[in-house]
Structure 1
Amino acid sequence: MTNETNQTLALLIDGDNASPKIVDGLLAEIANYGTASVKRIYGDWTRPELTGWKDCLLEHSIQPVQQFAYTTGKNATDGAMIIDAMDLLYTGRFTGFCIVSSDSDFARLAARVREQGLIVYGFGERKTPRPFITACDKFVYFDVLDANDPDQSKPKESTAKILSPAFIPSAPRNAGLDETAIDMLSKAIAATAGEDGQANLARVGAHLANQAPDFDARNFGFPRLTDLVEASGIADVKRAGEHPTVVHVRLRNGREVARRA
């Protein structure tokens, strides 16, 4: 699989379904996956609703694509984005696409790009229909992209030491955590654990992404999956190494919990 940070990406933004307030956080998030060598935003730039985008396009080198609304009730922007995406796909220059929209019309596009063996990152609002979310390899909600909040980039203090040769018991379960998320996390750990009950957290994260592309620790107020596991109270954590730190997790009462899951 392509190293995420070395991916060549095409960024396509539906200007009708995204706010310019997310652009800084969006580009910072995409930088975690690779380099967006193409950055385009689509919309009818004669409309006053898109005025906010005009101020940040030059700053971030995003190319605006004009698409007039020829007929009332028909979204010409979607069609233009899909046509351009297919043109870019067939150039063979990209390893992934970033599609920014909350519109279910892009579900088939995302599925088609993945059929070609490319990775699809989706970005949208919480109201985004499930068909588009599940068609992506990973889906990130706009509200976790707030780069203007200085606390967003600061990791929360861990309940465990940075380096530890043994498992550190997790804290009592945070009552505010979503029970569905806890159940998914428990099953993902059980599914990826070895005979000794230990699971590599990277594998757990990959398993969760395959189950639900929008599963993200930040959705629950945690900067990393490690922090979510520790706050869940269902598993113990062990860290090893320095650069990078390898994290293993083990369900409490390991095999017994795994059988119940």
Structure 2
Amino acid sequence: MANEPATKLAVLIDADNAQPTIAEALLAEVAKYGTAHVKRAYGDWTSTHLKGWKEQLLTQSIQPIQQFGYTSGKNATDSAMIIDAMDLLYSGRFDGFCIVSSDSDFTRLAARIRESGLIVYGFGERKTPDPFVAACDKFIYTDILIAKPDEEQPLKPRSAAQLKQDSGLAHLLRNAVEAASDDDGWAGLGGVGSIITKQRPNFDARSYGYGKLSELMTATTLFEMDRRSPGDGRPKVIYVRNKSKKPAVRE
């Protein structure tokens, strides 16, 4: 509904562990999920290796949080970011957090935030350890975000044959449709996407070269797609069904 309040998000960036080139695309992606009421980047800003971030701080209105590296080999930045996250969590002012890092040290933080009933979006490189990915409600790989519209796509769309050969993908999609389906096998695409994300937080249609889940599922040729109008001038809703699913016999 148009009058529903926007999801309030806190965006916390581990600048020691994230590239400044992702900043603009990162915040554009965050905007899909809610409004960033807090945008903070953590690091030792007296260090020269963060100079690439300084322009982004001004351009994207990100607040730098200074944390000196007191001891060699110890990451004081992580500790400062975790302490701030808990303070923001206890304030009760936010609906969710965006944690930008590829560091497994934030695994327990993500789990703790979720235990409080808030949503956690993780952003990191593909080297991000699986425990941190699994601890988030949704995890987005940053290499997917940095491709510009006027440039060649970083991943060429996979063909139907290639998608079908990916047994893990086919199994994931089919099971999600089955879990969300009615007696006739039809399932709303929104429900299907929700189930997929719960099972695999790092799932992203863009990893296969497609901008949307509907485009990916159509490309597999494994599903029937149906666009239905709910009426009242609202946009059409996409429903999907496994092609192998036979409608229930009605007496």
**TM-score normalised to the size of structure 2?**
0.89
One-letter identity of the residue aligned with 2:241? R
Pick from 178, 186, 189 the counterpart of residue 190 of structure 1.
Answer: 178
- Is the alpha carbon distance of 1:122 and 1:172 closer, same or farther for their aligned partners in structure 2, counting shifts above 3 Å? closer
Summarize the Cα distance change of 1:233–1:151 in structure 2 as closer, same or farther, 3 Å threshold.
farther
Q: Say if 1:114 and 1:120, in contact at 8 Å, map to a contact too.
A: yes
> Take 1:6 and 1:14, find their aligned partners in 2: how far apart are those partners?
25
1:200 matched residue in structure 2: 188
Ranges in structure 1 where 5+ consecutive residues have no aligned partner: 154-170, 257-261
Deviation at 1:66? Answer: 0.8
Counterpart amino acid of residue 229 in structure 1: M
Tell me whether 241-250 or 27-36 shows the greater mean CA deviation. Answer: 241-250
Cα deviation 1:203-259 (Å, max 9, x = unaligned): 100000110111111111110000010011211111122742200111012159xxx
TM-score, L = length of structure 1? 0.85
Task: Could you tell me which runs of 5 or more consecutive residues in structure 2 were left unpaired when the two chains were aligned.
Answer: 154-158
The structure 1 residue matched to 2:167, chosen from 179, 186, 203, is 179
SS in 1 for 2:187: strand
**Residues 172 and 220 from structure 1, CA distance in 2 versus in 1: closer, same or farther, beyond 3 angstroms?**
closer
- Residue correspondences, number: 239
The RMSD of aligned alpha carbons is: 2.4
Which sits farther off after the overlay, 144-153 or 8-17?
Answer: 144-153
Q: Secondary structure at the match of 1:69?
A: coil
Which aligned pairs between 1:84-233 and structure 2 lie closer than 5 A? 84-146=84-146, 148-150=148-150, 172-175=160-163, 178-233=166-221
Partner of 2:27, secondary structure, is: helix
Using the TM superposition, give the Cα deviation of residue 49 of structure 1 relative to its aligned residue in structure 2, in angstroms.
1.3
- Deviation track 1:102-159 (CA, whole Å, cap 9, x = no partner) reads 0010010001011111110000001101111111111000011125333699xxxxxx
**CA displacement 1:75-105 (0-9 Å, x = unmatched):** 1100000000000111100000000000010
Residue in 2 aligned with 1:166? none
For 1:26, the equivalent position in structure 2 comes to 26
Return the alpha-carbon distance in structure 2 between the equivalents of residues 35 and 77 of structure 1: 25
Q: Is contact 1:174–1:231 with CA below 8 Å preserved after alignment?
A: no
Which 4+ residue blocks in structure 1 deviate beyond 6 angstroms? none
1: CA distance, partners of 2:4 / 2:68: 36
Equivalence map 1:42-81=2 (5 Å)? 42-81=42-81
CA distance in 2, matches of 1:152, 1:22: 17
